[in-house]
Chain A
C-alpha cells in the first residue's frame, strides 16, 4: 500500500514537472540556436575612407578622403552600388544584404590639388584602396568600417583584355581554340618583345596554391613574346591575339572561331602541336607537361609580366615571378563567388571573373569604359568588376 502511494505521488510529480516544462518553449529550455538579434537589410553601414598618403591632410587638414568614388559589388548577388564620400570621407549605405563586397574606392587627384601638394601639376595620380579590396559587410558585426587609401601613379599600360578558354559549343570535347588577348591601354607605342605570359600554378587535387605568397607568382607554364627589343610594337588601343593554335578552328568545330589571323601562336615544339608557319610563335620558357599551351577551361589565372626570363627563380618544380613585374593578372573561376578559393594574390586581382562552363563558347572580356578617342578598358585590378561574360569570343577586337 505504501509503495503504491509513493509511486502515485511520483507519477503526479512527474506530470506536474512535465506540464510546467511544456508551458515553455522546448527550444528555449534546450537553449540552442537563439534567434539572431539583427535583421537583414536593416543596418546602415558607414565606411570611412582614410588617406595614408598625407595628401588629404595637406589639402583639407584631415586624413579623411572626400569626394572619392566608391563602387560596392555584392559577391553573391552581383548587385552594385555607386557612391561618393562626403566631406567627412564617409559613405553610408542601408538596405543591402550581408555579404562580401568587392570595393573599389578611387579619388582622382586633380592637377590643381597636386600643385598644392607637390608644387607640380602632376596628372594621373589617384588614391585607391590597395590594401583592402574585399569588405565583409555583416549586419551582425560593427557597422562602422575604416578603409585605407594609398597613392597610385598611373595604371597598367598593358592589360589582358580577353580570355577565351571554355571551348566551342556542339563539337564534343574540342578545346584547341583557346586564346588570350593583350591590349595597349596607354597613349603611346609599346613593345611586346620578351614580355611574359604565365599561368598561375595551383594543384586542384591537393588544393595547393600560393595566393598568400608575399612576393612571387608561382608558375609551371611560362612563355614569352619573341623579339629582341623593338621587333613587335603594339599601338595605343591595339589588341594583340595570342592563340593556342593559330588556325581557322571552324574547320574542326563549326561554332568555333577563326584564329588564323592571330598575332602570335603558342607552339610547343617538343610535342605534336599544330604550327601555323605564317604566325610568329611565342617562346616556351618552361612547361613540362602537355602537348600544347593549355589554360584551364573553367578555372585558372594568367599574368602578363615584363620580368626577364633569365632572372626567373626556381622553386620546387616551379619558377617564381615577382609581383612588382606584373602588368596585369586575371583570375577566372567556375564559381566566381568563391573568393576564398582564389589562387591569385588579391593585390594583383582582388576578385574573379568566370562562371563559364566547358564547351559553351563563352568568353571573358574586359568592360569598355570609354570609346571616344581610343578605347579605355576597365582596370581596377579586380576581375569581378572589370570583366564581363560575352556569349561568343571576339578575337583581336572588342565585341
Chain B
C-alpha cells in the first residue's frame, strides 16, 4: 500500500534521481577545452554511411584487414569503455531468453611503435545474463546448429568471461604491409536454478592480413582467418537438490529431442573455422572513397557427449560467402552521401556422426542496401537521412524432425539524424529510425504427429521469423572533450519492436536498450 508519505518520498527520490541525471548531462556538456573533435570515430552512432562513417572507409574498417591498422599520432589513445545492453520482451523466438543482458568493461589502446609499426589492443570483462531462459544452456544457441542441450527447467543463466584482443601491423615497404589480429576469450557459465549445469568456453580467433598498394589510389589486400573454439557443458549432481529429478533434453532438430532422466552428462563441442578474403580500397581524393571485401569460409562444429567415453552425437558445418561494398562521396563541402551494399550467403548442414546421414540443411542469403545523405546546414548543425532495404531468404529442411520451412521477407528502414555542436568541445547526434519487416513468402510443413516439444514450443522459432513487425528506435550519441585532450563519448539507444497482425505474438513486444560510455585519454 502506498501511503501519502511514501508517495512523497518516492516523488522526492525520483526528483533527486532526475536532478542527478540532468547534472551529469550538463557536466558532460560543459567541460572541456579546444581540441579537434574526432566525431565519433570508432564509436557507435547507429549510422553506417553518414555522420563520419565515410571517414572510416578503408580496408581496416570495412573488410577487417589488420594490415591496414594505421593511424596518425592524433589518433593514439588509451580508453576505458563500458557497454550495457538489455533486451527483453515476449516477441522473440522460443530459444531466446525473455531477458538478455550483457555488460562489458574494456580497457584498450592504440599506439604507433614507430613510423612503420602500429599496435592496438584491449582487455575486457564481460557478463551475460539470460533471464527466463527456457530449457537451453548452449551459449551460441542461435547459429542454426541444431544440436542443442538443455534441461526441463527455466531460469536464469549467467556467463562471465574475459576478452583479450591484440592487433599489430607493419609496413614492410612503401607498398606492402602486413598485420595480424588475435582474439582470445574464456568464460564460464552457470544456470542458477537446479540442476545448475555449468559451462566453460575457450575461443581463439586469428586473422592474418596483407595489403598491397597498386598505386596511390588503389590498394588490395588478402586476409586469412582461423577460428578455434572449445565448449564444455557439464551436468553434475546438484547437491542442493539431491532428490529433484533432472530431465536433460538433447535437441538434434526442432523436434524429437532425446529426453534423458539422468543427472550427469558432459557435452564437448569443438569448432574450427577457416576463411580467406580479398579487400580493396579506392580513394582518388578526399571527395570519394570506396572500399570492398569478399570473404569466403566455413565453420565446422563437432559435438561429443559423455565425459568418460566421449562419442560423437552431432556435426554441423556452415559455409559462407560475404561481399561488401561501401562508398562515400562528397558532392560539395556541405553534402556527403554514402552507399553500402552487403551480401551474405550461408549454407549449413548437420549430420549424425554414428550414422553419417544428413539430418538438417539450411540455406540462407541476404542482400542489404543502404543509402545515406548528409547535409551540413551550418557550422554547428548537420542533418542526415539514411534509408535501406534488406532482402532475406531462408530455407530449412529438418529431416530428423520432419520440419520444413522457407521464408522470404523484405525489411525496410529509414533513419534521420541531427548532429549539433553545442560548442567546439561538445557535440551530440540525435536520431530516430523506423524499421518495417514485410513478409513476402512463407511456408511451414511439419509432421502433425510431432511431439509437444515442437508444437507447443519450438514452432515459435519459425513463426517468429515470419512475423512482420514495426520497430522504432531512438538514439543519442555524444562526444565531449574534457581537460587537455581527453574525451568522453556515450551512446544511448532505445528501440521497441511490435509484431504486425500476428496471431501467435498478439499483444507482445520486445524492447532493447543499449548504453555505451567511453573515456579516452590521448597518448602524448
**Known interface pairs A18-B222, A18-B276, A140-B355; A33-B296 also in contact (CB < 8 Å):** no
Give CA–CA (A11, B220) in the complex, Å: 10
Q: Contacting B262 at CB < 8 Å: which of A30, A41, A170, A334?
A: A334
Contact at B399–A42, with CB atoms within 8 Å? yes
11 A-B contacts, Cβ less than 8 Å apart?
A: A22-B276, A22-B294, A26-B276, A38-B357, A40-B352, A97-B256, A138-B356, A334-B262, A335-B260, A335-B262, A356-B261
Write out the residue numbers on chain A whose beta carbons fall within 8 Å of the beta carbon of B315: 33
Q: Mark A245-270, 1 if CB is under 8 A from B, else 0.
A: 00000000000000000000000000
Write out the residue numbers on chain B whose beta carbons fall within 8 Å of the beta carbon of A337: 258, 260
Contact at A27–B276, with CB atoms within 8 Å? no
Q: Contacting A77 at CB < 8 Å: which of B242, B243, B256, B359?
A: B256
Give CA–CA (A337, B176) in the complex, Å: 59
Give CA–CA (A77, B276) in the complex, Å: 41
Write out the residue numbers on chain B whose beta carbons fall within 8 Å of the beta carbon of A15: 212, 220, 222, 278
Q: Does A39 contact B (CB under 8 A)?
A: yes
- How many of chain B's residues have a CB under 8 angstroms from any CB in A? 40
Give CA–CA (A33, B317) in the complex, Å: 8
Write out the residue numbers on chain B whose beta carbons fall within 8 Å of the beta carbon of A37: 358
Q: Does A62 contact B (CB under 8 A)?
A: no
Q: Does B414 contact A (CB under 8 A)?
A: no
Q: Mark A317-340, 1 if CB is under 8 A from B, else 0.
A: 000000000000000001101000
Write out the residue numbers on chain A whose beta carbons fall within 8 Å of the beta carbon of B220: 15
Contact at A355–B262, with CB atoms within 8 Å? yes
Q: Does A214 contact B (CB under 8 A)?
A: no
Q: Does B351 contact A (CB under 8 A)?
A: yes
Give CA–CA (A32, B275) in the complex, Å: 14
**Known interface pairs A22-B294, A26-B298; A97-B243 also in contact (CB < 8 Å):** no
Write out the residue numbers on chain A whose beta carbons fall within 8 Å of the beta carbon of B242: 172-173, 358-359
Q: Contacting A169 at CB < 8 Å: which of B243, B294, B296?
A: B243
Contact at A40–B357, with CB atoms within 8 Å? yes
Chain A min CB distance to B71 (Å): 25
Contact at A138–B355, with CB atoms within 8 Å? yes
Give CA–CA (A165, B315) in the complex, Å: 37
Chain A min CB distance to B437 (Å): 30
Contact at B274–A360, with CB atoms within 8 Å? no
Look across to chain B and name the residue whose beta carbon is closest to the beta carbon of A37. B358
Which residues in window 1-27 of A have CB below 8 A to B? 11, 14-15, 18-19, 21-22, 25-27
Write out the residue numbers on chain B whose beta carbons fall within 8 Å of the beta carbon of A358: 242-243, 263
Give CA–CA (A355, B263) in the complex, Å: 10
Which of A35, A42, A355 neighbours the largest number of chain B CB atoms within 10 Å of its CB?
A35
Give CA–CA (A344, B356) in the complex, Å: 29
Q: Mark A271-308, 1 if CB is under 8 A from B, else 0.
A: 00000000000000000000000000000000000000
Give CA–CA (A173, B239) in the complex, Å: 11
Give CA–CA (A39, B352) in the complex, Å: 11
Q: Does A67 contact B (CB under 8 A)?
A: no
